[in-house]
Chain A
Amino acid sequence: MRCLWISLLFVLGVVCGGCASDDDAGTDTPILRFVFVTHGQASDPFWSVVQRGALDAAQHTGTRVLYQAPESFDLVTMSQLIDAALASQPDGLVVSIPDADALEAALMSAREAGVPIVSINSGGEHSQRLGSLLHVGQSEYEAGYQGGLRLSAMGATNALCINQEVGNLALDERCRGFTDALESQGSSVEMLAVELGDPTESTQRILAALRSDPSIDALMTLGPTGALPCLRALEEIDNPGINFATFDTSPEILNAIESGAILFAIDQQQYMQGYLPVVLLALYHRNENLLAHESLQTGPGFIIRSNVGRLKELTARGTR
């Protein structure tokens, strides 16, 4: 029985501990509070940088940021998290829009409640219609297309596009842009779905694909969770003729670029997707400032062997 109470206290402790910082809100000017609701978990190396950017910006602007995301790619839960965020009456809402239809109602009620919205990462094409002030991200199709042209120039003729999150429209767009670019050069592309949460299984699936078709000479992964299993698969198969490039970065990907295992990474500089919305919303509230652009393009930028050194230092700090 005693341990029961101890565990109960533990739960209460976590609840109270998480919001103990809320008690200092009693100063003259109320501290601005912004809520991020994204489709990407903070455990994902990509999204942890977004979160870092948001928290850094909160510190630099003297605002408060809360980061929320469903525990798997789940738009129903995400829309419900937005509802909860709105009911807590924040001063601004920052959302990613992986599916405009699914999030339309939730964002509509944000507009009705007068909460300013900034969209980030995915959904730039729907951002205006859904009432977002501004979109901070990269055009996924364009990034895929540019990446495809680059890989094609390096000699790709038969490529695999490795998708770790089937159902995410943004990733489908990257693949589509990549495919269109290669097909415009007369090459062919197949899509391969892998498991976001299971690197071992993903490695095996990539290995199976490479062994079943030895003519594959290029690989494109759509993020670190797809790239790392791919690296392991390439180590195992040991075929130097395969050109490998990826979307997004992580410390491991930069090491691989340095060693030459990955030719280049398409970088959308996601730290800015966390940092800029906080700054923009703070300016919007404090100084009635609003940018005249509909969107801020944070990418695509390319990380190649020659610029990877400096980026490694920054990645170690968790900001790239």
Chain B
Amino acid sequence: MVSRDERLRKIHPIRRLLSRPEVGALGGALVIWLSFALVAGDQGFLSLRGTATYLEVAAELGILASVVALLMIAGEFDLSVGSMIGASGMLLVVLSVHLGWNIWLAAVAVVIFAGLAGLFNGVLVVRTGLPSFIVTLATLFAFRGATIALTRLITGRTQLGGLQEASGFDSAQALFASELTLGGANWPVSILWWILITAVATWVLLKTRFGNWIFGTGGDAKSASSVGVPVRCVKVTLFIMTALAAALVGMIQAVTFSGADVLRGELREFYAIIVVVIGGTLLTGGYGSAIGAAIGALIFGMVRQGIVFAGVDADWFQVFLGVMLLIAVLVNHWIRRKALQE
């Protein structure tokens, strides 16, 4: 018998499908949608308005999650995204309301600020070699504290409104917060942002050399480095990207609610990690998907809003979230083991 190259081995299409990271999440999303459709279908969960509300929740988290997924595939965490949302939203409002800047100028300043903050996180992680979990946990608190302290120092308040008076607000609203009324429901433009960013992240991950570098960096940084992958550069770039995604969410929220408060984005850092893991990305890096993260965000949105339709007290939401995280990890673990056998 001629032994064939094992790289040319035929894999059954179903097995190949099951070994995709997002399959578990997709199944989970279907189960959850069906459960709520059965339980709360006549309470408005199936209506277009109901669908729009959970897609909006999913979109804001999904923008964050698909970028966080890339970073986690590269083997790092960014916990500072939660406070980056608060910091960017507040910066936008302080600059354009309190200091009277044009809102677009303020938005450019926010993007530069977020880019620098991401650069700081990234350089700190690759230079010190400390776990990114600790480094960004530190910056999570530092950014939040600085946002509260500086906002109070400059404006004497913790909640700022009146963004609709800023010059350039109308065009900013069109880009960040416009709504399309269709079928009696308002569909926010953030859903488009979510789809766009997930698509770009997926394309980068699967079709570009940078995507290969991300997998290599997270899979085994040493071997990746020895075959010429610029591991440090990949990580720093991704830290900048997560900070920019957080800034985008912060600006979307600031423009949507025509103001900001210093607590915006609280807990989003953990929600982002949770939906990325639900989406099939491994905590250890080297394996995962941006589409999976988007499906994870969809699950989050459906549960978050679905319990209102089902008439369950909000107290139960966190129970659901915890149980789902556990189930997701178990399913992913099981599917991966089955798929990789033999």
Binding site for B on A (CB under 8 A): 1, 3-4, 7-8, 10-12, 14-16, 18-19, 21-22, 35, 41-43, 66-77, 79-81, 83-89, 99-102, 104-105, 109, 166-167, 169, 172, 193
Nearest B residue to A193 via CB reads B148
* Complex CA–CA separation, A193 to B306 (angstroms): 35
Contact of B327 among A11, A14, A81, A169 (CB under 8 A): A11
Contact of A99 among B49, B186, B259, B334 (CB under 8 A): B259
> Is B331 an interface position by the 8 A CB rule?
yes
Known: A71-B267, A80-B304, A101-B162. A7 touches B326 (CB 8 A): yes
Q: Knowing that A1-B334, A41-B315, A81-B308 are A-B contacts, what are 12 other residue pairs whose CB atoms are under 8 Å apart, sorted by A's residue number? A: A15-B312, A18-B316, A35-B308, A66-B308, A69-B314, A74-B264, A74-B267, A76-B253, A80-B56, A83-B53, A84-B54, A87-B50
Whether B266 and A105, one on each chain, are in contact in the complex, defined by CB atoms closer than 8 angstroms, is: no
- A interface, by DSSP: helix, strand, loop or mixed? helix
Known: A80-B56, A84-B309, A99-B259. A68 touches B314 (CB 8 A): yes
Whether A88 and B43, one on each chain, are in contact in the complex, defined by CB atoms closer than 8 angstroms, is: yes
> Is B172 an interface position by the 8 A CB rule?
no
> Is B57 an interface position by the 8 A CB rule?
yes
Whether A102 and B259, one on each chain, are in contact in the complex, defined by CB atoms closer than 8 angstroms, is: yes
Complex interface residues of chain B between 308 and 332 (CB less than 8 A to chain A): 308-320, 323-324, 326-327, 330-331
Contact with A along B283-308 (1 / 0, CB 8 A): 00000000000000000000011111
Q: Which residues of B contact A72 (CB under 8 A)?
A: 263, 266-267
Most chain-A CB neighbours within 10 Å: which of B35, B54, B162, B307? B307
Q: Which residues of A contact B44 (CB under 8 A)?
A: 87-89
Nearest B residue to A70 via CB reads B314
Contact of B311 among A19, A74, A87 (CB under 8 A): A19
Q: How far is the CB of A58 from chain B (nearest CB, A)?
A: 12
* Complex CA–CA separation, A169 to B262 (angstroms): 12
Whether B327 and A84, one on each chain, are in contact in the complex, defined by CB atoms closer than 8 angstroms, is: no
Q: How far is the CB of A302 from chain B (nearest CB, A)?
A: 28
Whether A19 and B40, one on each chain, are in contact in the complex, defined by CB atoms closer than 8 angstroms, is: yes
Whether B308 and A71, one on each chain, are in contact in the complex, defined by CB atoms closer than 8 angstroms, is: no
> Is B39 an interface position by the 8 A CB rule?
yes
Q: How far is the CB of A126 from chain B (nearest CB, A)?
A: 11
Q: Which residues of A contact B312 (CB under 8 A)?
A: 14-15, 18-19
Whether B305 and A14, one on each chain, are in contact in the complex, defined by CB atoms closer than 8 angstroms, is: no
Q: How far is the CB of A197 from chain B (nearest CB, A)?
A: 11
Q: Which residues of B contact A81 (CB under 8 A)?
A: 305, 308, 314
Whether A16 and B39, one on each chain, are in contact in the complex, defined by CB atoms closer than 8 angstroms, is: yes
Nearest A residue to B309 via CB reads A88
Q: Which residues of A contact B304 (CB under 8 A)?
A: 77, 80
What are some 28 contacts across the A-B interface (CB < 8 A)?
A3-B330, A4-B334, A10-B323, A11-B35, A11-B323, A15-B35, A19-B312, A35-B308, A67-B313, A68-B308, A70-B314, A71-B318, A72-B267, A74-B266, A83-B305, A84-B309, A85-B308, A87-B44, A87-B53, A89-B44, A99-B257, A99-B259, A101-B162, A101-B257, A167-B148, A167-B262, A172-B158, A193-B148
Q: How far is the CB of A184 from chain B (nearest CB, A)?
A: 19
Q: How far is the CB of A67 from chain B (nearest CB, A)?
A: 6
Nearest A residue to B326 via CB reads A7
* Complex CA–CA separation, A109 to B53 (angstroms): 12
> Is B60 an interface position by the 8 A CB rule?
yes
Whether B314 and A19, one on each chain, are in contact in the complex, defined by CB atoms closer than 8 angstroms, is: no
* Complex CA–CA separation, A72 to B185 (angstroms): 27
Contact with A along B217-261 (1 / 0, CB 8 A): 000000000000000000000000000000000000100111101
Q: How far is the CB of A60 from chain B (nearest CB, A)?
A: 20
Q: How far is the CB of A7 from chain B (nearest CB, A)?
A: 6
Q: Which residues of B contact A4 (CB under 8 A)?
A: 327, 330-331, 334
Whether A102 and B330, one on each chain, are in contact in the complex, defined by CB atoms closer than 8 angstroms, is: no
Q: How far is the CB of A174 from chain B (nearest CB, A)?
A: 14
Known: A4-B330, A42-B313, A71-B314. A15 touches B305 (CB 8 A): no
* Complex CA–CA separation, A16 to B43 (angstroms): 13
Q: Which residues of A contact B159 (CB under 8 A)?
A: 99, 167, 169, 172
Binding site for A on B (CB under 8 A): 31, 35-36, 39-40, 43-45, 47, 49-50, 52-54, 56-57, 60, 148, 152, 157-159, 161-162, 185-186, 253, 256-259, 261-264, 266-267, 304-320, 323-324, 326-327, 330-331, 334
Whether B327 and A80, one on each chain, are in contact in the complex, defined by CB atoms closer than 8 angstroms, is: no
Whether B319 and A80, one on each chain, are in contact in the complex, defined by CB atoms closer than 8 angstroms, is: no
* Complex CA–CA separation, A172 to B262 (angstroms): 13
* Complex CA–CA separation, A67 to B314 (angstroms): 7
Known: A4-B334, A19-B310, A76-B253. A101 touches B258 (CB 8 A): yes
* Complex CA–CA separation, A67 to B258 (angstroms): 27
Q: Which residues of B contact A100 (CB under 8 A)?
A: 161
Q: Which residues of A contact B315 (CB under 8 A)?
A: 41-43
Whether B323 and A66, one on each chain, are in contact in the complex, defined by CB atoms closer than 8 angstroms, is: no
Q: How far is the CB of B39 from chain A (nearest CB, A)?
A: 5
Whether A7 and B327, one on each chain, are in contact in the complex, defined by CB atoms closer than 8 angstroms, is: yes
Whether B60 and A76, one on each chain, are in contact in the complex, defined by CB atoms closer than 8 angstroms, is: yes
Nearest A residue to B36 via CB reads A15
Q: Which residues of A contact B256 (CB under 8 A)?
A: 105
Q: What 9 A-B pairs have minimum CB-CB distances, sorted nearest first? A: A18-B312, A101-B161, A87-B49, A84-B308, A84-B305, A88-B44, A102-B257, A167-B158, A83-B53
Known: A4-B327, A83-B53. A15 touches B310 (CB 8 A): yes
Q: Which residues of B contact A166 (CB under 8 A)?
A: 148, 152, 158, 262-263
Q: How far is the CB of A105 from chain B (nearest CB, A)?
A: 7
Nearest A residue to B313 via CB reads A67
Whether B53 and A80, one on each chain, are in contact in the complex, defined by CB atoms closer than 8 angstroms, is: yes
Most chain-B CB neighbours within 10 Å: which of A70, A75, A83? A83
Whether A18 and B310, one on each chain, are in contact in the complex, defined by CB atoms closer than 8 angstroms, is: yes
Q: How far is the CB of B43 from chain A (nearest CB, A)?
A: 5
Whether B257 and A11, one on each chain, are in contact in the complex, defined by CB atoms closer than 8 angstroms, is: no
* Complex CA–CA separation, A35 to B110 (angstroms): 38
Q: Which residues of B contact A68 (CB under 8 A)?
A: 308, 313-314
